Structure 1
Amino acid sequence: MEHIDIDHDGRTLRGVLHLPTAPNAPAVALCHGFGGNRAEFGYTFVRLAERLAARGVAACRFDFAGCGDSDGDFADLTVSDQVAQALAVLDALAAHPAVDPDRLSLMGMSLGGLTAQLAAAKRPVRSLALWAPAAGAVAMGEEGAKRRADAIAEHGYDDFGGLPVHQGFVDDAAGIDPFAAAAAYPGPVLLAVGSEDFVLGTRLLGEYQGLYGDRLDLHVFDGVGHGFETVPARERLVELTASYLERTA
């Protein structure tokens, strides 16, 4: 494992790169969720990266700007900026001497999943893995959008699980169609979601099925929510994803 710093828009994005012993390895960029960090819930990104490296696939865990150890202000977070950061990470991986620049993949959780699906449409990545992607963050229903607007008008931000969502995020999201903007990606997709997920509901799941069609490898985890909140579910999630990325990277 080596530390990696990536310059982007005057900020340093900080991460770690898990490398296999063999040279010229395929590589995956792991995109964490809203307000998270490169370890992800239950250290699942650490476990996934270690498992991938043991199977010959390099894995880069990094903190988005304003999160974890990276530079930046969390208040400035937008989806478009995160997509640009993910592309910068892919470029850094392509330039790394231990990585095969023609065998790059993307993986993301929640808002990181939305980020990954949008970034995959802008680079020739080999495969895409999504954990509970938060397309609803830019495709909110009318009721949710009004509640958020009222909260921002009153407090200056919307309190989302103890983290602030600012007007800049909302303005950026208004210009993003999460499915039309992702349609250019032609490769395979792994999608894992809990049956009780409040973020990725039936309507949005149907949109993903329509978007990716027979390229979609869908896995619904019964009895868990957005964070795959049991030990068995998280172990299954890590192993499923590691096997998929080993096969498709």
Structure 2
Amino acid sequence: MPTRHALIDIPVDGVHIAGTLIAPSTVVPGVLLVHGWDGSQQQDITRAHELAALGCICLTFDLRGHARHLAQREAVTREDNLRDVLAAYDVLVGHPAVDPSAVAVVGASYGGYLAAVLSSMRPVRWLALRVPAIYRDENWEHPKRRLNGDDLTLYRQTAIEPEKNRALAACEDFIGDVLIVESEHDSIVPHPVIENYLGAFKHVRSMTYRVQMGADHALSKKAWRQEYTQLLLAWMTDVRRAAKTEEKALPPQQTKRYESWVEP
């Protein structure tokens, strides 16, 4: 079996001793799935199983304010939920079989918005956003439930410059592969929002944009949910194949040195 090794420093009693970590080279991509507002991880379980069948390790989870923590619904903030996503990401990447350089984040609606912000805070190679929502940067610490209303509806109909929105600014800095999926009959995330996201991704490796004809925001019909799953699986297969081809074309990498593999 092929192996890989890395020189590491092991902190102990205020000093670092040298070590060499040797492991099988069979690490695999990790996929983090982030549900939308009023959703739960149950919406992603079947999809995650199908992604796992491609050779990925997937993690679904419930944002606070949902499922077990529904009692927090009226008080939970975007900061709370972003911290949920960061914590879930760290658990996924901490799995010994996950390649930390090959992480995909899949988000829908509010989860897509959080996924976009996450990409500016953690390494993300592949970003899949289905009907990603958008919010003003103001009142970040206010309960998320209070952000809805006529003002938000009007905001989502406007052209927004990336530097004026945290999620779009993260998209502008993103350099991986992107999938954006729009629902044709979406009354919550209108087309101008999708246009803002598409316009923000200026430096990506690749961009794939699809519209699900006839579909609503929540994909309320089974056929629409199945169609989206097949879109996601096909895209994930394509970008992984492209990544493998790219890696084969690169010169052999030198051994990477980690200054702190284990935190003191």
Q: Give the alignment's TM-score, normalised by structure 1.
A: 0.70
Q: Would you say 1:229 and 2:220 are equivalent positions?
A: yes
Structure 1 CA distance for aligned equivalents of residues 29 and 90 of structure 2: 13
CA contact (8 A) 1:84 1:119 kept: no
What is the CA deviation profile of residues 46-84 of structure 1, one whole-angstrom value per residue up to 9, with x for unaligned ones?
221111111101110100123223587222322232222
Match of 1:179 among 168, 183, 186: 168
Cα offset for 1:33?
A: 0.6
**What is the aligned-residue RMSD (CA, Å)?**
3.0
CA contact (8 A) 1:47 1:238 kept: no
Q: Which deviates further from its counterpart, 66-75 or 235-244?
A: 66-75
Match of 1:217 among 201, 208, 213: 208
Map 1:10-25 to 2 at 5 A. 24-25=27-28
Structure 2 CA distance for aligned equivalents of residues 176 and 210 of structure 1: 13
Q: Would you say 1:38 and 2:47 are equivalent positions?
A: no
Cα offset for 1:228?
A: 2.1
Structure 1 residue aligned with 2:129: 130
Are residues 246 and 84 of structure 1, via their aligned partners in 2, closer, same or farther at CA, if it must alter by over 3 Å?
farther
Q: Would you say 1:68 and 2:67 are equivalent positions?
A: yes
Give the letter aligned to residue 226 of structure 2.
E
CA contact (8 A) 1:52 1:59 kept: yes
Are residues 248 and 50 of structure 1, via their aligned partners in 2, closer, same or farther at CA, if it must alter by over 3 Å?
same
Could you tell me which runs of 5 or more consecutive residues in structure 1 were left unpaired when the two chains were aligned.
Answer: 1-21, 141-156, 158-163
Cα offset for 1:199?
A: 2.0
Greater radius of gyration (CA): 2
Aligned-residue identity in percent: 27
Structure 1 residue aligned with 2:30: 27
Match of 2:196 among 207, 226, 236: 207
Cα offset for 1:25?
A: 1.7
Q: Secondary structure at the match of 1:27?
A: strand
Could you tell me which runs of 5 or more consecutive residues in structure 2 were left unpaired when the two chains were aligned.
Answer: 1-24, 156-163, 241-264
Cα offset for 1:35?
A: 2.3
Are residues 27 and 225 of structure 1, via their aligned partners in 2, closer, same or farther at CA, if it must alter by over 3 Å?
same
Structure 1 residue aligned with 2:233: 242
Give the letter aligned to residue 235 of structure 1.
Q
Q: Secondary structure at the match of 1:227?
A: coil
Cα offset for 1:232?
A: 2.3
Q: Secondary structure at the match of 1:75?
A: coil
Aligned length: 199
Q: Give the alignment's TM-score, normalised by structure 2.
A: 0.66
What is the CA deviation profile of residues 1-43 of structure 1, one whole-angstrom value per residue up to 9, with x for unaligned ones?
xxxxxxxxxxxxxxxxxxxxx9522111100110211012xxx
Are residues 203 and 110 of structure 1, via their aligned partners in 2, closer, same or farther at CA, if it must alter by over 3 Å?
same
Q: Secondary structure at the match of 2:179?
A: strand
Structure 1 CA distance for aligned equivalents of residues 114 and 33 of structure 2: 10
